[in-house]
Chains A and B, each alone.
Chain A
Amino acid sequence: MEILLAIMTGILYAAGIYLILRRSLVKLIIGIVVLGNGVNLLIFLMGGLVKGQPPIIPKDSHHIEGIFADPVPQALILTAIVISFGLQSFAIVLIKRAYKVLQTDDIDAMNKTDDIE
Chain B
Amino acid sequence: MSELLSSLLQDARIWQGHKQGKTTQPAESTGYQVLDNQLGGLGWPRGALSECLLDTCGIGELHLVLPLMQRVSQEGKTIFWLNPPHTPYAPALAREGVSLDHLVMINTRDQDDFLWTLENCLRSPVTGLVLAWPGRLAGRDIRRLQLASEAGGNVCVLFRSRREVDQNSPAALRLELVPGEHQDLQVNIIKRRGSWPGQRCSLALGHRADRAIKESSQVVQGPWAGASR
Q: Do A and B come from one complex?
A: no
Interface residues of B (CB under 8 A from A): none
